[in-house]
A and B are shown apart, each in its own frame.
Chain A
């Protein structure tokens, strides 16, 4: 399941091809991440080494936090989110994914008209 290997943490963001001012656009973001499931051995003890998933997604636009998500292991491998964004001014969109190993993965996109 964890064959993603070195690719872990690659964030991809897709925006519509044309954006006009004041429009509500749809942003799609994806991070390569194994989202490993916490497994149990036969004594119902959690196996710690399998425990590795993205638990927080924060989206900022021009430095202002506009959306935040708390995810669990019940989100698929290579977590994908799509959300709307009302663009009133050009700016920088930053999406940060944080996982349970304390690593953060950041992706950004410039929004221009």
Chain B
């Protein structure tokens, strides 16, 4: 896996996808979800159902054992302290990091620890957008820590983490 990550520059996405496929099949077997495994095995394409996952596994799957630095104010996460409705939680990520062709924010991952499938969304940016600010609405199953990991094009990772209290969950299951 490390070797794969080392030469991941060209086909990083392809490798990640392959790892994801292997990972999901493995988890399904270990949980004994017979039918689910079949579904997982068929998922040649993206966007197919994927099994439950713990947040540590998600982090491991996405970043391996690369070190993740705290953002120290470089990345701001705006989300409500208390979300009355877990089905619609507005989230804004604002990264005060350079956006030049040499150095830019490549990916922004939004991860909710206690969701069934913690990775909520991934945004892949290019220097053309000029600024790394993304907003979206996400679902939270229950009160959870929300993490945002920002990946630079040279591989540096920054993370912000904050708790969001949810009074009515938004993810059935």
- CB of A38 within 8 A of CB of B129, answer no
- CB of A75 within 8 A of CB of B35, answer no
Report A33-84 residues with CB < 8 Å from chain B CB.
37-40, 44-46, 51, 53, 55-56, 61, 64-77, 79-84
Question: What residues of chain A have their CB less than 8 Å away from a CB belonging to chain B?
Answer: 24, 26, 28, 37-40, 44-46, 51, 53, 55-56, 61, 64-77, 79-86, 98-100
Q: Give the number of chain B interface residues (Cβ < 8 Å).
A: 40
Some 23 contacts from A to B, beta carbons below 8 A apart, are A24-B130, A26-B133, A38-B173, A39-B172, A39-B173, A40-B173, A70-B121, A71-B120, A71-B121, A74-B112, A74-B117, A74-B119, A74-B121, A74-B138, A74-B140, A75-B137, A76-B87, A76-B139, A80-B135, A81-B135, A83-B123, A83-B135, A84-B132
The A contact surface, by secondary structure, is strand
B73 within 8 A of A: no
Write the chain B residue with the least CB distance to A65: B126
Write the chain A residue with the least CB distance to B128: A66
Give Cα A55–Cα B119 distance, bound, in whole angstroms.
12
Write the chain A residue with the least CB distance to B88: A76
- CB of A37 within 8 A of CB of B173, answer yes
Write the chain A residue with the least CB distance to B112: A74
The B contact surface, by secondary structure, is mixed
- In the bound complex, residues from chain A placing their C-beta under 8 Å from that of B170 are 76
Give Cα A45–Cα B37 distance, bound, in whole angstroms.
10
- CB of B35 within 8 A of CB of A86, answer no
- CB of B171 within 8 A of CB of A37, answer yes
